[in-house]
Structure 1
Amino acid sequence: MSLSELCIRRPVFATVLSLLLVIFGLVALERLPLREYPDINRPVVSITTSYRGASANVVENKVTQVIEDRIAGIEGIVKLESDSADERSSIRVEFDVSRDIDDAANDIRDRISRVVSQLPPEADPPQVAKSDSNAESIMFLSFSAENMTSLQVTDYAERYIIDRLSTVPGVSRASMSGARRAAMRVWIDRQALAARALTVGDIESALRRENVQLPAGRIESEQREFSLRTEVGLDSAEDFRNLVIGRGPEGHLVRLGEVAEVRIAAENDRTLMRTNGLAGVGIGIEANSKANVLDVVHGVREEVDRLQKTLPKGATLMVTVDNGVAIEAALREVLIAVIFAFISVLIVIYGFLGTLRTTIIPAITIPVSVIAGFMFVYALDYSLNVITLLGVVLAIGLVVDDSIVVLENIHRRAELDEPSMVAAIRGSREIAFAVIATTLTLVTVFVPISFLPGDNGRLFREFGLTLAASVLLSALVALTLTPMMASRLPPEREMKHGRFAKWIESFFKKMTAAYEVRLRQLMRRPWLIVGGVLGLGFLGALSFRALPSEFMPAADAGRVMVTLTAPEGASFEYTSEYGRRLEAIAQSGLDSGEVRRVTLRVPGSYDGTGAVNSARLILTLEDWGARERSAQEIAASFQRELAGLPGVRANTMVPGGMRGGWGKPVEAVLGGPDYESLAAWSEKLTKLAEDNPGLTGVDSSYKPRKPQIRIAIDRNRAADLGVSLQTVGRTLETMLGSRIVTTFIDRGREYNVVLQGRADERATTTDLTNLMVRSDRTGELVPLASVVRLNETAGATELSRFNRLRSVEIGAGLAEGYTMGEAIKWFEDTVARELPPEATLMWDGESGDYVRSGGQMWTTLLFAVIIVFLVLAAQFESFVHPAIIMVTVPLALLGAVFGLQLHGMSVNIFSQIAVIMLIGIAAKNGVLIVEFANQLRER
């Protein structure tokens, strides 16, 4: 007894089986996390090494390159990039998504432990940290207050907002940008210090020595015990001013207030954050990698609503960027597509079958198959996202096929006046092999998609396996629930057909007759069929070559970003002024109602550690229905307004892609033997790229013209005077930069104590040489000018490496109508034509994803064709029948090409996946025709 016959004879068994599938599917659906896209975060391990006093060149040669050479052979490394700056080496190692981040970090620590002895003795031990390659904030908030200073705004946000938001379930981190955190600032008066025969080291030593809290034991009585603590810590600016730091030449005590200005001020005052013209701080919310993003967004929104009620008068807390809005909109659109697809399928089925009772069967079997598929999604630890829901939309059209094939065959036998039970048993038995064959054909197409390597494999694994699971379950339902329900239908002669059903039936009979006539005519002229197919193939090839290509189609996430770059060496004030000009230009968008908020950050990096000659303006747009133009159109219009802005470079871009982020779409990386050659090559390529109208915002990462003052220490002279290099380095760092030497407590929070020279005493090169240091041999003060030489130069402050090659990155945006494929081809042709063979062109970011996905996808396409052919050969026990079936595949691909051409669409990662799907769909139709033809021959 076959499975179908068992279910026909035992209807309760078939019903319970389907109900269990639905129940388990609904439970799994309720527990699935919601995301916009699948989690494709790569494990990333960063290695940071400090080498005090070393230039970028020395750091690159003696630290970065040594570490890279040692760790390069670790399994699973996808990308190895590094930046070497003065006194600092940063290496970022990106691993394949399948690599466990803990194992990867342990491997790196093991390799580094063997190389520490090869690093310079002055270099600190390398620090290894794990991170997420896509640790992007899902929300940004802005907090400002009219009646607070910038220090008070930062302090309030840190004490009362950050902590509350950090406790929202699913939030991994809440961080501030534009913050001016309070610190005890000690601005040293060089002349006053020298007059008292003291040095910077004396101040630092006194602060470290005196600002402590010490336990002093305990007092015990018969019934009570007291712990003793000696309070010698410094808590206020007055305490610090009264701190004795040493004795002057006459033997009198010298207090810190005599040689320095001491007060509470911003630890970093070179940062700016403004929202709609109002200064404040920004707050970024990051979600845990496994958290339900929409749950986190909703939790943060609710917490913000509660915080609004506790804010002081004049304070404002607003959400400036909310990725949840775009995610909700995307999921909503896909859910609408699911419902629309389901209704459309039912209408088509009713049109073909002609009766409402028969239509009810697929109306039940489709949801059963789709809902049950969520069991597999949950079991495989996937999420509910745009990609899996896209699989559901397509599954509706695919899973209905099995039920329709079985139902139509039963319906055909019922029209021959067979009883419902007999028609169901014979009809399902007759079509069982074809259903199984077509199901296996589709599964063998979808499963290879998940074998794609790297990000694409991870991305579409959820898509392919969701579809495969739904198709397998649809075959099960089609051979169990469908024949059971069909056997309970009244005989065909007792079913009443309405006028519309009769008209539909008559229409299809006429179509069938006309098709038969045309088919007989064409079969007598096979050369005409072959010629037509070849002609269509030629036209399709021409159309395909004309199609634009890109990694992903442009998306409107409701945001536009403007990056501003001032000349090298520009001050914070210079950049801030131009940032305010950008705000003024963006005001027109606010006035027109297309822009909701304008957020300005200086420096451009979120954490405020970037170069002060960079700024970033973020335009948060109104909802899609409230504006007439897309984000791309608004960005293009804004770019035209920026064309007349002198003194800076400003470029607009629209964030997008599955990774999110704000990087430029084209990231070409030039590799070469040395930075001198790379500087010349990148400058030439950048100029040529700027002349290409299809590329916008062209910029190079190599900045060789930043003004620098090189300090050369006369080691022999320093040794003769008894001055250590460490003393020179610490003095320069403290007086000209800033140095955190200790901390103090204020209302339960710990703040830094920062030493620095007065602003008017670190403005010229003369100020550098007028500093005094103490001789370790004689104890006397020695002018710094006697042991150092100053040279003004212009050079690169940061040297990059990419996959162990010295490199320079050239980033660019894409003009409207210019595709990623065209940009990549232009770069490849230009590098081959204009640069020497030693120049190596590599790709990073979205352009790197595009290059890697192209070859992988077409390899997968070929793999899918071969697998389908072999599966069909095994099923039919013949190589001839599968060959006949596979002839239909190229025709289906031609339809896809003509469809893309007709609608002005591009070849991208989605259309490539659709092409792979077409192989299964086309083969499925061929299987049905060949199987029925074989059965008719046997009869």
Structure 2
Amino acid sequence: MRISEISVRRPVFATVISLLLLIFGLVSLERLPIREYPDIDRPVVSVTTRYVGASAPVIETKITQVVEDSIAGIEGILKIESESEDERSQVRIEFDVSRNIDSAANDVRDRVSRILNDLPEEADPPEIIKADASADPVMFISFSSDAMSMLEITDYAERNLIDRLSTVPGVARVSIGGARRPAMRIWIDRQALAARQLTVTDIEDALRRENVELPAGRIESRTREFSLRTIVGLETEQDFRELVIARGADGHLVRLGEVASVQLAAENDRTYTRYNGAMGISLVVEAQSKANTLDIVHGVRAEIDRIQESLPPGAVLNAAVDNAVAIEAALKEVMLAVGFALTGVLFVIYAFLGSFRATLIPAVTIPVSIVASFTVMYAMGYSVNVLTLLGLVLAIGLVVDDAIVVLENIHRRAELGEPPLVAAVTGSHEIGFAVIATTLTLAAVFVPISFLPGDLGRLFSEFGFTLAAAVLFSALVALTLTPMMASKLPESATERNRVALAVDRFFKRAAQLYDGRLRSFIRRPWLVIGAV
């Protein structure tokens, strides 16, 4: 072919083409995201609402149904799932894959904001995140200290750790497991309460009435202005004990300390976290919908290293569970498979060609074709994942085919006595169109895989195009770089070693045996037809 002849006569041309493919491929590889599987996740937005003390049926009727009715009708919704349990409502909205996750979350926030007045006053405001609230977190971080109490550990984490970890790109939310938030716990003595003819509602009303801070306005004069604050004075345990909750029949003031014990303790002590036997808290890192787990974990690890420098004495911050470890191990195994495949292909080529210098030619064309395919992956927005690496493993055995065919034909003509330059031009010219036809056939086989319908097609879309791109680049390299390098081989490179000669003798005997059997079958066609 013309391009092969130009490459042989102008070796700089073929070298520059291959170098450009390598440069563009390496630059693209550096910018490609790394993940376990292709990005096929649909955008998911979750709405979580907490209502302390409410049972599951109350949560269902008062919160979950109200939220579901408000968000129904948003564009692009595929399905809505909800879960109502004691003290918590969770609504999961899954959108079409074409819907932008940010705009979908904004639409959900807009709809939920309209029904805030319809929710119970005691319920917390709904929390809307761009993630699947029922999905597994990407990381659990343990924080403990032998110099701080559990209340102090929780307070330090909320003030100094949550915000820093939440700023890592891709993190949807960082929550605390086993938290001990300070609260004034009131343990009611029902007998003392009944003796004074009071109920729990009287205590609740008194707390709501007295433990409140309201705007008090300001005082103005001609020269001064003062802002007023209402200070309730309920700060310590004793302040709460002295709180008047009612007046008796004889005018006696009934105080809270007479009917209940007051203690400053943890708001919720129903859960706890231990790490290596030490009490502490667990920071749960949740990923945004469609975010890259590896990028998130790498960012969180780097942030943990920066936080370590400012931790108080005795505090320990460690990654307890890291879901990226399994992903990295899987990618490492695939990379080992790539190395084994490359080594095996080169060994087989050397066994047949019998020349180390001749083997170097396909050894160079393989990485050029593989690396060049990263350019197409980057242009199409793909990622380096298990399936694309699997495609590259298969491509190693396919991309070498074109180079071997061209090289073997050039090698054969060189064995017949032609000079290396002439053998390179005539050998590549003879089979150039055959190489192109074979390459297009392979590409036509793998590309349709990327157009399979449903989630299966989206999963294998990157696999098909990556493999087809590597095969197409291999044809270009086989028709440019391979003839040019083959023309530079000395005549001594055509001499084969003992292994290659033994392999050649084996296949010659097999060819003779096949020839004899074929001739006998041709003379007896009825036997072949009967066997079929």
Tell me, in whole angstroms, the C-alpha distance in 1 between the residues paired with 2:113 and 2:172: 30
CA distance in structure 2 between the partners assigned to 1:463 and 1:510 by the alignment? 40
Q: Indicate the residue corresponding to 1:403 in structure 2.
A: 403
Determine helix, strand or coil for the equivalent of 2:320.
Answer: strand
Overall identity of the aligned pairs, in %: 56
Q: Tell me how far apart the structure 2 counterparts of residues 516 and 362 of structure 1 sit (CA, whole Å).
A: 31
Distance across 2 between alignment mates of 1:110 and 1:141: 33
Cα distance in 1, alignment partners of residues 306 and 74 from structure 2 = 51
Residue 176 of structure 1 corresponds to 176
| TM alignment of 1:654-669, pairs within 5 A | none
The structure-2 alpha-carbon separation of the partners of 1:299 and 1:514, relative to structure 1 and needing over 3 Å to count, comes to farther
Q: Which runs of 5+ in 2 are unaligned?
A: none
Determine the structure 2 residue equivalent to 1:211: 212
What secondary structure sits across from 2:269 in the alignment? coil
Counterpart CA distance in 1 for 2:250 and 2:336 is 86
Instruction: Give the superposition deviation at 1:517.
Output: 3.2
- 1:791 matched residue in structure 2: none
Distance in structure 2 (CA, Å) of the matches to 1:30 and 1:8 = 32
**Contact 2:29 2:374 (C-alpha < 8 Å) held by counterparts:** yes
Once the two structures are superposed, residues 278-331 of structure 1 have per-residue CA deviations (whole angstroms, 9 ceiling, x without a partner) of: 443223334555457167347527725963884544x55443323333233222
CA offset at residue 192 of structure 1?
Answer: 4.9
> Could you tell me how far 1:482 is from its partner in structure 2?
1.7
Aligned residue runs from structure 1 range 847-926, under 5 A: none
C-alpha distance 197-73 of structure 1, shift in aligned 2 (>3 A): closer
Please give the secondary structure, in 2, of the residue aligned with 1:141: strand
Q: What is the aligned partner in structure 2 of residue 360 from structure 1?
A: 360
| Pair 1:89–1:290, CA change in 2 (3 A) | closer
SS at match of 1:238: helix
| Alignment partners' CA distance in 1, 2:399 and 2:17 | 17
**What is the DSSP-based 3-state SS (H/G/I as helix, E as strand, rest coil) of the residue aligned with 1:371?**
helix
Matches within 5 A, 1:315-334: 316-334=316-334
| Structure 1 unaligned residues grouped into runs of 5+ | 534-939
Query: Aligned residue for 1:506?
Result: 505
AA aligned opposite 2:498: R
* Structure 1 residue 163, shift from structure 2 partner: 4.8
Q: What is the CA deviation profile of residues 745-779 of structure 1, one whole-angstrom value per residue up to 9, with x for unaligned ones?
A: xxxxxxxxxxxxxxxxxxxxxxxxxxxxxxxxxxx
Counterpart position of 1:273? 273
From the superposition, tell whether residues 46 and 186 of structure 1 become closer, same or farther in structure 2 (CA, over 3 Å): same
Give the Cα separation in 2 of the matches to 1:212 and 1:163.
27
Structure 1 residues 205, 243: CA separation in 2 closer, same or farther (over 3 Å shift)?
A: closer
- Deviation, 1:400, is 0.9
1:701 counterpart residue number: none
**TM alignment of 1:701-740, pairs within 5 A:** none
Cα distance, 1:27 vs. partner?
1.2
Structure with more contact order per residue of length (Cα contacts < 8 Å, sep ≥ 6): 2
SS at match of 2:130: strand
1:377 equivalent to 2:363? Answer no
Structure 1 residue identity aligned to 2:175: S
Q: 1:300 corresponds to which residue?
A: 301
Deviation at 1:36, TM superposition (A): 2.6
TM-score normalized by the length of structure 1: 0.49
In 2: Cα distance, 1:417 partner to 1:17 partner: 30
State how far apart, in whole Å, the 1-side matches of 2:334 and 2:359 are. Answer: 24
Aligned to 2:18: 18
Report the CA distance between 1:369 and its aligned residue. 0.7
Tell me the CA shift for residue 368 of structure 1: 0.6
Relative to 1, partners in 2 of residues 1:62 and 1:309: Cα closer, same or farther, differing over 3 Å?
closer
State the distance in 2 between where 1:208 and 1:432 align: 91
| Deviation, structure 1 residue 81 | 3.2
Aligned to 1:413: 413
| 1:264 matches 2:264 | yes
- Which letter does structure 2 place at the counterpart of 1:211? V
> In 2 relative to 1, CA 436–86 (structure 1 residues): closer, same or farther, beyond 3 Å?
same
Q: Secondary structure at the match of 1:440?
A: helix
Whole-angstrom CA distance in 1 between matches of 2:40 and 2:483: 42
Distance in structure 1 (CA, Å) of the matches to 2:191 and 2:420: 107
Deviation at 1:362, TM superposition (A): 0.9
- Equivalent residues of 1:450, 1:458 under 8 A apart: yes
Query: How do residues 119-134 of structure 1 correspond to structure 2 at under 5 angstroms?
Result: 129-133=128-132
Matches within 5 A, 1:118-517: 129-133=128-132, 135-145=135-145, 149-163=149-163, 165-166=165-166, 171-190=171-190, 192=192, 195=196, 200=201, 203-204=204-205, 206-207=207-208, 210-212=211-213, 214=215, 217=218, 228=227, 230=229, 232=231, 234-245=234-245, 247-251=247-251, 253-287=253-287, 289-291=290-292, 293=294, 296-297=297-298, 300=301, 303=304, 307=308, 310=311, 312-313=313-314, 316-491=316-491, 495-517=494-516
Question: Could you say which residue in structure 2 is the equivalent of 1:720?
Answer: none
> Does the Cα contact within 8 Å between 2:373 and 2:473 map onto a contact in 1?
yes
Q: Name 2:27's counterpart in structure 1.
A: 27
- What letter is aligned with 1:142? S
- The residue aligned with 1:56 is 57
* Equivalent residue letter for 2:335: L
Q: Is the 8 Å Cα contact of residues 182 and 267 (structure 1) preserved in structure 2?
A: yes
Aligned partners of 2:528 and 2:75: how far apart in 1? 56
Cα distance between partner residues in 1 of 2:482 and 2:24: 20
- Residue identity in the other structure for 1:340: F
- Measure, in 2, the Cα distance between the counterparts of 1:322 and 1:460: 27
Equivalent residue number for residue 41 of structure 1: 41
1:262 deviates by: 2.5
Counterpart-to-counterpart distance in 2, 1:398 and 1:235: 76
Q: What's the CA shift for 1:103?
A: 5.1
> After the TM superposition, which of the residue ranges 230-239 and 65-74 deviates more from structure 2?
65-74
1:693-734 alpha-carbon deviations (Å, 9 max, x no partner):
xxxxxxxxxxxxxxxxxxxxxxxxxxxxxxxxxxxxxxxxxx
Structure 1 Cα separation of the partners of residues 124 and 240 of structure 2: 33
Query: CA shift at 1:182, angstroms?
Result: 2.2
Report if aligned partners of 2:137, 2:284 keep a CA contact under 8 Å in 1.
yes
The corresponding residue for 1:628 is none
Give the CA deviation at 1:205. 5.9
Say which is worse superposed, 267-276 or 368-377, in terms of deviation.
267-276
Task: Decide whether the 8 Å contact of 1:60 with 1:89 is kept in 2.
Answer: no
The amino acid of 2:236's aligned partner reads S
Please tell me the residue identity of whatever aligns with 2:370. Answer: V
Residues 435 and 475 of structure 1 are in contact (CA less than 8 Å); yes or no, is this contact kept in structure 2?
yes
Report which stretch shifted further, 197-206 or 180-189: 197-206
Alpha-carbon RMSD: 4.5
Q: 1:74 to 1:26 in 2, by over 3 A?
A: same
TM alignment of 1:824-835, pairs within 5 A? none
Letter in 1 for 2:2: S
Instruction: After TM superposition, list the pairs within 5 Å mapping 1:74-89 onto structure 2.
Output: 75=76, 77=78, 79-84=79-84
TM-score relative to the length of structure 2: 0.81
By percentage of residues, which structure has more helix? 2
Deviation at 1:22, TM superposition (A): 0.6
Q: How does 1:672-751 map to 2 (within 5 A)?
A: none
The residue identity in structure 1 corresponding to 2:508 is K
Q: Secondary structure at the match of 1:450?
A: helix
Q: Report how many residues are paired.
A: 525
How far has the Cα of 1:347 moved from its partner?
1.2
* Aligned-pair CA distance for 1:364: 1.0
Partners of 1:228 and 1:65 in 2: how far apart?
40
Change (3 A) 1:340 1:465: same
Distance 1:95 1:440, change over 3 A: farther
Contact between 1:354 and 1:504, CA under 8 Å: does it hold in 2?
A: no
Cα offsets for 1:512-561 (capped at 9, x unmatched): 3333334444555667767878xxxxxxxxxxxxxxxxxxxxxxxxxxxx
Cα distance in 1 for partners of 2:31, 2:119 equals 53
3-state secondary structure, aligned to 1:479: helix
Check the 8 A contact 1:240/1:257 in 2, yes or no. Answer: yes
Q: Answer yes or no: is the 8 Å Cα contact 1:32–1:382 preserved in 2.
A: yes
Instruction: After superposition, give the CA deviation of every residue in 1:75-131 in whole Å (9 maximum; x if it has no partner).
Output: 562x543335579764433334344334555677899999x8xx9999999968453
SS at match of 2:451: coil
